[in-house]
Structure 1
């Protein structure tokens, strides 16, 4: 793909696995693990797409998403929410806040790549 993705994920094993999968697919992957400074990292890196965990130290991914959607510079940034929280109310809230897609852990490699491609291309993909 050749696009830049910022992966905000605090679990190093999950970050490394996703980074490997996406790098192999042609993505340029950067990582960040602290919710409290994630908005600043998005501004600094200006990624093409964001993969955002819901449960992060320092700040919730949902709060981060709310802030990003409230800023003109990031209002249209494609965001894939990634979480272990699979209840429909969690997914509905993330989508209502402006997430382009919602993917629950565990996920397959193909599911991650396909969902991120759709999100980056501007397609909404509700995920599972």
Structure 2
């Protein structure tokens, strides 16, 4: 299955995403902010990245902007999983290079469905 990075400052949210995706057979690695997510992505190639928007150290939009500068992540699907639902944030995410947007709290089945869709 796929190697997935989940980036979120909430430990419980990372655990929920990891559990949901691990049960599908995916290999999930966690990072608690955008800076640590960037470091993880530069040391390991991931097939999919799921990131929060609002985090300390480096927010999700900045993280996506930076990761899209890397040649091996230009076409990697990046899903934003966040409480933010405003069009301005969604627009900023899309401009940064986000592939999709899921608003928290999320339905695990919806996450699974979207992950399956973007990994095809």
Instruction: Assess same fold via TM > 0.5.
Output: yes
Alignment match, 1:89: 88
Matched residues in 1 for 2:22 and 2:70: separation? 29
Over the aligned positions, Cα root-mean-square deviation in angstroms equals 1.2
What do the CA deviations read for 1:88-120 (whole angstroms, capped 9, x no partner)? Answer: 221122112211101110110111111111122
Matched residues in 1 for 2:88 and 2:4: separation? 27
Structure 1 unpaired stretches of 5+: 122-128
Alignment match, 1:37: 36
TM-score normalized by structure 2? 0.93
Alignment match, 2:61: 62
Alignment match, 1:6: 5
| Partners of 1:36 and 1:57 within 8 A in 2 | no
Aligned residue runs from structure 1 range 62-81, under 5 A: 62-81=61-80
**Structure 1 position 47 matched with structure 2 position 46:** yes
Structure 2 unpaired stretches of 5+: none
What do the CA deviations read for 1:53-78 (whole angstroms, capped 9, x no partner)? Answer: 11111011100111111221221121
| Partners of 2:4 and 2:47 within 8 A in 1 | yes
| Partners of 1:68 and 1:74 within 8 A in 2 | yes
Deviation beyond 4 Å, 4+ runs, structure 1 = none
